[in-house]
Amino acid sequence: MKLEVVLEEEEDGTYSVHCPALRGCHSQGATREEALKNIHEAIEIYLEVAHEKTRKLVHQQPKTTVIDLAV
């Protein structure tokens, strides 16, 4: 899976970065490399949490089947 991120240099020389496709998924870093590493970790955590929340909700519904689909 590929996701676009927006990397911005701040006035103090640090970097902020966010993933527009994942609402609220933001990070930062002292360097470009650190900011990109941090957003990568933030995206992984965001997707793990979203996956678990969805699984819990779906399992509460009768007549529902959970199927993993790779994209």
Spatial separation of the C-alpha atoms in residues 22 and 4, rounded to whole Å: 10
Give pLDDT, residue 66: 76
pLDDT, one tens digit for every residue, the chain (71 residues): 899 999 999 999 999 999 999 999 999 999 999 999 999 999 999 999 998 998 888 778 888 887 878 87
Domain boundaries, the chain: 6-59
Q: Would you state the pLDDT for residue 21?
A: 97
Distance CA 69, CA 59 (A): 17
What one-letter code names the amino acid at 44? E
What pLDDT, on a 0 to 100 scale, did the predictor assign at position 37? 98
pLDDT value at residue 7: 98
The reported pTM is 0.82
Between the alpha carbon of residue 70 and those of residues 1, 3, 19, 30, the distances in Å are 9, 15, 20, 34
Rounded CA Rg of the chain: 16
Architecture of 6-59 per CATH? 2-Layer Sandwich (3.30)
